[in-house]
């Protein structure tokens, strides 16, 4: 069963994922403790986003096991999803519905109550409340990303998955995001994020994991101190990035 008090937020064992003939994850083993902010780093194609999509249960592994918050995700999908909030590359919103309509719809899917209060709280937190009645299609990408963040926070998940959350955000919104991540950490919740803004990520994280060729290349539990080693591991040649600049 899913346990909110589990010590490990994520346990991945020998996870393999291929897309056609391209191997993306090659037997990934990773344990991420609950209550920490973990940043996943790696060059393009290292497998960060794929791993996050697997944790969000949008992509299935070819082999290996993953448990989240103490539960095998293959067996307890809906229960784990109820404790997980995700902001991935695309905002995944209905363009012809307003922000409020989008959030109300997803609140129903998450079986939430006191929806009006919840919407007021999360939209204030991400700074979108003045445009609640605007259709999503009329908003900038950065604003849509904030709506997606509001949706992910609405059910107060134990585990927040953020895939390059700062992309498209202005500096004020990034500061807001940092405050939300800090708040999550102080509440004992878990954040797993990917980013390419390495320096900033190391300042706000408790743990950094560098993925290289679909496996863990380097792990640090003191990212701000291990900056040099992390950047060296991040910059090391990656077979999966053959076509890079």
Partner 1 sequence: MGSLRIIWAIGRKDLLLEIRNKDVVVAVAGFALLVLVIFTFAIDLNQGNAKLVGPGVLWAGIAFAGVTGLNRAFALEVEGDTLEALMLAPISRDLIYLGKALGNFLFIAVAQIIVIPVFAVLFNLVVFRWEMLAISLLTTIGFSAVGTLFAAMSVRVRAREVMLPLLFLPVVTPLLMAAVESTSHMVYGRSWSDMAQWLQLAVAFDVAFVVVSAFIFQHILED
Write out the residues near partner 1 by the rule CB under 8 A: 56-60, 77-79, 81-82, 84, 86, 88, 90-97, 101, 105-106, 108-111, 151
What is the number of other CB atoms lying within 10 angstroms of the CB of residue 76? 18
Structural contact between residues 37 and 204, judged by C-beta atoms closer than 8 angstroms = yes
- Which CB, 92 or 174, lies closer to partner 1? 92
- Which CB, 6 or 59, lies closer to partner 1? 59
DSSP string computed for 27-62:
EEEEEEETT-EEEEE-STTSSHHHHHHHHTTSS--S
Residue 71 Cβ vs partner 1, minimum distance, rounded to whole Å: 12
Residue 96 Cβ vs partner 1, minimum distance, rounded to whole Å: 5
Which residues are paired to 8 by β-bridges? 33
CA dist list (Å): 39 to 61, 143, 164: 21, 23, 10
Residue 99 Cβ vs partner 1, minimum distance, rounded to whole Å: 14
- Which CB, 90 or 236, lies closer to partner 1? 90
Residue 64 Cβ vs partner 1, minimum distance, rounded to whole Å: 15
- Which CB, 163 or 238, lies closer to partner 1? 163
Residue 92 Cβ vs partner 1, minimum distance, rounded to whole Å: 4
Q: If DSSP codes are grouped into helix, strand and coil, which group holds residue 164? A: coil
DSSP symbol at 135:
B
- Which CB, 5 or 109, lies closer to partner 1? 109
């Amino acid at each position: 069963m899913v346990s909110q008090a589990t010590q490990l937020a994520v346990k991945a064992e020998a996870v393999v994922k291929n897309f056609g003939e391209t191997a993306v994850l090659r037997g990934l083993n990773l344990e991420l403790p609950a209550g920490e902010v973990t940043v996943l780093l790696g060059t393009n194609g290292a497998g960060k986003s794929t791993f996050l999509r697997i944790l969000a249960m949008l992509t299935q592994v070819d082999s290996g096991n993953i448990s989240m918050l103490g539960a095998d995700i293959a067996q307890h999908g809906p229960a784990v999803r109820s404790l997980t909030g995700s902001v991935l590359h695309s905002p995944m919103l209905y363009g012809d519905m307003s922000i409020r309509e989008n959030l109300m719809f997803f609140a129903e899917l998450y079986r939430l109550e006191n929806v009006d209060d919840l919407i007021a709280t999360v939209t204030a937190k991400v700074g979108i409340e003045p445009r609640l009645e605007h259709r999503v299609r009329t908003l900038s990408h950065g604003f849509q990303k904030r709506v997606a963040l509001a949706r992910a926070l609405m059910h107060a998940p134990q585990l927040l998955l953020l895939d390059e959350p700062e992309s498209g955000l202005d500096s004020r919104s990034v500061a807001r995001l940092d405050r939300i991540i800090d708040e999550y950490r102080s509440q004992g919740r878990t954040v797993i994020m990917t980013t390419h803004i390495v320096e900033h990520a190391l300042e706000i994280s408790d743990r950094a994991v560098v993925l290289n060729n679909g496996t863990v290349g380097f792990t640090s539990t003191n990212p701000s101190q291990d900056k040099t080693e992390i950047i060296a591991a991040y910059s090391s040649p990656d077979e999966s990035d053959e076509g890079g600049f």
